[in-house]
Amino acid sequence: MAAIDELHDETLARIADDTPVVMVNLMKFREKSLDGDGSGWDAYVRYSKGVNHLIRGVGGGIIWTGDAKGASFGPAQFGDWDFVALVRYPSKAAFRSFITSADYEAQNHHRLNGCQEHVIIASEQAYGRFRED
């Protein structure tokens, strides 16, 4: 499966063209990687090493990553994630360029091998230290 097959263009269409976007990544890892090379986490680390320079190449960057500990508020079933990553892109076009590139696709198999589930929530900043107005 190509990453482009999982894009929700209707969601991206709701984000202004000229504004930065932060992608909130929620991941649940497989116990064992589908390719048999270590754990799901091991496969995800291979994916990360292969795509970090691609993120920087479109002007993006990782803001924060961390181990998910579970829901602390709201329905508990929505808190069953292993890892969270916040990745900032200068625009939705930069994100789209990253995720649809051949270089990304060459690394995507590591993500698929390692992640049992992977959800990316597109967010447009309302306020905060990165906003200029």
Is the predicted pLDDT of residue 111 greater than 90, yes or no? yes
Is the predicted pLDDT of residue 74 greater than 70, yes or no? yes
Higher pLDDT, 53 or 80: 53
pTM score, whole prediction:
0.88
User: pLDDT at position 44, please?
Assistant: 98
Is the predicted pLDDT of residue 133 greater than 70, yes or no? no
Domain membership of residue 132 (yes or no) is no
Residue 79 domain boundaries = 3-124
Is the predicted pLDDT of residue 30 greater than 70, yes or no? yes
Domain membership of residue 129 (yes or no) is no
Domain membership of residue 20 (yes or no) is yes
Domain membership of residue 131 (yes or no) is no
User: pLDDT at position 79, please?
Assistant: 73
Beta strands 83-89; 61-67: pairing state: antiparallel
Domain membership of residue 133 (yes or no) is no
- How confident is residue 53, by pLDDT bands cut at 50, 70 and 90? very high
Query: What CATH number does the domain containing 26 carry?
Result: 3.30.70.100
Is the predicted pLDDT of residue 1 greater than 70, yes or no? no
Is the predicted pLDDT of residue 131 greater than 60, yes or no? no
Domain membership of residue 38 (yes or no) is yes
Number of domains present in the structure of the chain = 1
Rg (CA), the chain: 15
Domain membership of residue 130 (yes or no) is no
What is the DSSP secondary-structure string of 86-125? EEEESSHHHHHHHHTSHHHHHHHHHHHHHEEEEEEEEEE-
Question: Contact at 8 Å (CB) between 80 and 72?
Answer: no
